[in-house]
Structures are given as structure tokens and as C-alpha cells.
Amino acid sequence: MFAQPCVVVANASKQIDGLTAYEVERIFLGKMKRWPDGRVVDVVYNEEKASQIAFSEHYLNRSWRQVATYWRKKLYSGRSMLPVFIDGHEQVKEYLASHPDAISYLDSDELDPRVKVIKVEP
Amino acid sequence: MRWISLYVLIILVVIPHVACALSFGSNVQVHGFLSQGYLKSSNNNFLAASRSGSEEFTEVALNTNLSFWQDFRIGGQLFYRNLGDYSEDEVVVDWVILEYQPFDSLGVQVGKCKMPHGFYNATRDSSFLQPMIFLPQSIYDESRRDANLAFDGAVVYGNISFGRFGDIDYHLFAGESDFPEQSMLAYKNEESVAALIDRNNQLPLNKRDPRLPSTLNSFERNSEDLYGGAMVINGLISGLRLGATLHHSKSVIKVRGLSEPIGETVTHSKYVLSAEYRYRNWMFVAEYGQTDRTSLMLDKVSIDGPSQSWYAMIYYTLNESWSFSLLYDEFYRLKHDHHGDDLSKTPAESGWRKDIGVGGRYDFNEHCNLKAEYHYVDGTAMQLSVVNPDGVARYWSYVAVKLSVSF
């Protein structure tokens, strides 16, 4: 179903070697709000369909619809704002390039110097 | 009214930023939803004049949030609801909070906050997010929604990680319940007090209770005590959530001219135990609750003892568009009396409510869905007599359809 594997990425200058899969899940579900350096993580969901599905099923153990419902429940119950949702790899890279604390995911063949791959350990 | 003023203040702060609200990475967000439904029932009315079919089934919400200084957030939600006689039919502040969260494991919200109760009470007004139109009524009774929806006070909360054993979300709260004046619950309380005064006035002068006035000039129900907590364990096993909520509350009924309250309701403990398991296209949910309460009116006990509630639901997602639900739901007014034998002056079947429901949901896209469901019910508990002044039938059913759009 998915042409390329999905990789977790951040701003190219972000000083981080890697995260565990558990930390990636916690970050994208709003449970871990800070990078190890103490800065608030700017979570960005890439709405490019194949990446969206691959990321949510592989890293969050949920369907994309379940992820969207999860965040909307937090929003309408007053427990959280929504993370950023951006449609398309190029737009995601533009956002990451201008937001030093942002994290997102891309197809592995969409990488360029504006972003840095975060190694995810099991 | 103070919450409306605070929400207006938030809007005034947010409006200058609205032009950027939909751009990438904004710290300002504006969202909302609109739902319109149709309710039709047999034998008994349910929440509205549903025996003849009712479109009095509308919800509109406007949600705004602003984050600032990294750890602070201010937000609120305006809400309008039309549900027969069970709604206020005006725009109200659903919640409005100032939040400070310096750590993942510790944050605080103050304001008008949603009440943690079971898995779904905090989101019950956004039914478009739920599998079915109506949450299981045994735990999420629509007729008592106003007393359990939100409170004025503070919440301390956080998420604590236990590594491969999962994590825990916790909420500890205290404050006062918010009883809307224009709600069915307030109306029922006022009706009871008026009837009490009326009966008292029929008695000879020397037999009347001096604690009651001769006329009901004003009536109010005030919260004196509310505190509790909620905990959700996530990820002990992949796909599993376990939850527990517990709270205590006390409210009193006051009538103008009297220094002491004429009635009170003490909820000694109201708890819900919850479990949800997701596996591939399936979701299984079950919740069990008990409410141990005592209601007094002029020292006479009207109800004393725990009620009992539970339900089990299966939710299956066929594909991106279609999903289906099956529900079985039971409620007993008194845990020790499943047959209604201890209820005086009311039929035995007013002691329980057993509901089997089946529903379907079609998602046009992420922002628009259509739901429909059918319920067959045995029992008339949960205030059914309010919308059925001519009497209620033990066996009845209802169909609900609802279209929702969010942005």
C-alpha cells in the first residue's frame, strides 16, 4: 500500500540524536510535550494520505481516523489545542525549516537538507 | 453570566489573530461543529415530543484557544443545544479555562471545567465524535446531564509514564457544580418544591409545616461541595485503556424567605469503572457505575441508596466510511432492588431501564458524518415521566438520526 517507508523528521538544526518509538508515540499523542532540551515540541501531522496512514498505524498503533478522533476529543473537552495539520510533503518541509522545534514525518524519498531524520529506536 | 463575560474577553483577544488562525503553526485556533438530528419514538416520548417525531435535536459549538508564553493556554467553548424540554435553548458557555502546564506530569486548569466522569462525559456534547448518537444512558443520563456536565473550580492533571507498562492520565478536581437555571433538572426541582408548598397550604393552619412559605417566590439549587478524581491507564496491553472516576457532591435547595435549605441531595460517592479495548477494526467498551446518594426534602428521605449502571458496546469499522455499533445497557434506581419492589407510589418498572441498541455511521469525510440508531427499551427509569405526563409504557423504542459537520 505504501510506496516508501515513513521517517520521523525535525528541523535540520535540531540537536537530537534519536528517540525511542515510545517517545515518538507519546509526542504525537500530546503526552510528551518537550524535547530533551526542554523546548516545547511543535507537533506537525503530515496529511499526505499514504504517509498519514503509514505513520499512524506504525507509530501510533491507530488508524488515521482514530488519531483524528483522539485529538478532536481532547479539543472539544477543553484538554488540548490541536497539533498542526499540513497537507503535503513540501509544505511540511517548509514549516519544519522555519520552526526549529517542530517534528513531523515524511516519505523517505522526500528528504532534503531542510530536515533531519530522527533515528527511532524500538 | 461571568463565564459569558470571560468568553467574550477571550474572543476579543483572539479576534486580532484570526487572520492567522488557519495558517501553519498558529498559536490561535478556532473550531466548531453543527449537528442536526431527528428523534422518533414509540409508546413514550424520549427527551422531546418524539412520539410524533421531533427535530428539536440541534447542537452548535464554537471552540477557541490561544496559547502563550510556552506553558499557558486560555480557551473556551460556546454551546447551543435544542433538545426538547431538556435544553436551555440559548447559547451558554460550555467550558472556559486558563491553563498552566509546566510539566507533562503536572498542569492546572481553573475556570468552568468539564467534569471527569467515565470515559466519555467530557466529550458528550460532541456526539459526532462518538460511535453512536446517544451515549449509553445508564452512565450518561441525558435527563441529568446538567448536573454532571461541568463545574466551576480547578483541575490538577497530568500524564505519568511507566515506560513499557504504559502511562496514566490523572485528573483531581474540586469546585462547585453548575446548575443552569433553564434546565429540566432545575424545572423538576422547582416543580417538586411548588407541589410541596401547595400540599402544605391545603392543611389546616395548625398542621402546616412552618418551615415552608405560603408561596414560592424564588427557588435555587446551590452546590456546596464537589470534589473527585479520575484516572486512565493506557497501554498496559496494546489497545487497552482502563479507567476509574469517583466524585462526591452535595447540593441544597433554598427558597427565599427561609434561612435554612429545605432540601438537599448528597452524592456520597459516584464512581465509574471503564475498560476499552481496540483490536484492528474492532473496539469493545464496557463501563460499570454506582451512585450512592441520599435526597431529603424537609427531613423526609425521597431516595437513599446506590443506583447501579452498566453497559457493554461493540464497535466495528468496516472501512473508511462505514462503521457499526451494538449496545446493551442497564440501569437500576436501587442496586439492591432490581424488581422495583421498594419503590412506593410508582410502578415497579420505574426502577429499571434496559436498552438494546444497534447503530450505523457513515463518514463522508473527516468533517462530516451521518449516524442512525434504533433502541428497544424495557423500563421507565430516568425521569421518563417528565416528558410523559399522561403516563408511561414499560416497553418502548426510539430511532435517532443525526448529521454532523465540524470545522
Within-domain flag for A1: no
Q: What is the pLDDT of residues B108-149, one digit of tens each?
A: 999 999 999 999 999 998 888 999 999 999 999 988 887 788
Residues of chain A with pLDDT under 70: 1-4
Which chain A residues are Cβ-neighbours of B97 within 8 angstroms?
Answer: 78
Q: Could you tell me the pTM of the whole model?
A: 0.89
Q: How far is CA A23 from CA B166, B280, B357, B397, in A?
A: 11, 22, 39, 48
Within-domain flag for A24: yes
Share of chain B above pLDDT 90, in %: 55
Which chain B residues are Cβ-neighbours of A62 within 8 angstroms?
Answer: 278
Number of domains in chain A: 1
Contact yes or no for B164 and A26 at CB 8 A: no
pLDDT band at B276 (very low <50, low <70, confident <90, very high): very high
Contact yes or no for A69 and B113 at CB 8 A: no
The answer to whether B126 and B186 are in contact (CB under 8 A) is no
Residue B246 has pLDDT above 90, yes or no: yes
Residue B233 has pLDDT above 70, yes or no: yes
Domain residues for the domain of A107 are 6-121
Closest-CA residue of B relative to A34 is B104
Number of domains in chain B: 1
Rounded to whole angstroms, the Cα distance separating B361 from B47 reads 22
Of B58-72, B138-152, B171-185, give the lowest mean pLDDT range: B171-185
Rounded to whole angstroms, the Cα distance separating B36 from B52 reads 17
Domain residues for the domain of B268 are 37-58+99-406
Q: How far is CA B111 from CA B76, B97, B148, B154, B175, in A?
A: 10, 5, 16, 6, 10
Rounded to whole angstroms, the Cα distance separating B34 from B78 reads 12
Q: What is the ipTM of this complex?
A: 0.91
Q: What is the pLDDT of residues B353-391, one digit of tens each?
A: 999 999 999 999 889 999 999 999 999 988 666 788 888
Q: What is the CATH number of the domain that holds A64?
A: 3.40.190.10
Q: What is the pLDDT of residues B151-162, one digit of tens each?
A: 999 999 999 999
The answer to whether B40 and B50 are in contact (CB under 8 A) is yes
Q: What average pLDDT score do residues B315-319 get? A: 95
Q: What is the pLDDT of residue B12?
A: 58
Most A CBs within 10 Å, among B129, B148, B171, to test the A interface: B129
CB pairs below 8 Å between A and B: how many? 78
Within-domain flag for A15: yes
Q: What is the pLDDT of residue A67?
A: 94
Residue B21 has pLDDT above 60, yes or no: no
Closest-CA residue of B relative to A81 is B65
Within-domain flag for A11: yes
Q: What is the pLDDT of residue B20?
A: 39
Q: Does A114 touch chain B (CB under 8 A)?
A: no
Q: Does A49 touch chain B (CB under 8 A)?
A: no
Which chain A residues are Cβ-neighbours of B24 within 8 angstroms?
Answer: 84, 86, 91, 95
Q: What is the pLDDT of residue B384?
A: 65
Contact yes or no for A77 and B159 at CB 8 A: no
Q: What is the CATH number of the domain that holds B299?
A: 2.40.160
Residue B107 has pLDDT above 80, yes or no: yes
Q: What average pLDDT score do residues B273-286 get? A: 96
Which chain A residues are Cβ-neighbours of B71 within 8 angstroms?
Answer: 40
Phi and psi angles of residue B222, each rounded to the nearest 5 degrees, phi first: -115, 140
Q: How far is CA A80 from CA A70, B67, B119, B143, in A?
A: 11, 10, 16, 28
Phi-psi group of B327: left, alpha or beta (phi > 0 → left; psi -120 to 50 → alpha; rest → beta): beta
Which chain A residues are Cβ-neighbours of B75 within 8 angstroms?
Answer: 78, 81
Closest-CA residue of A relative to B107 is A79
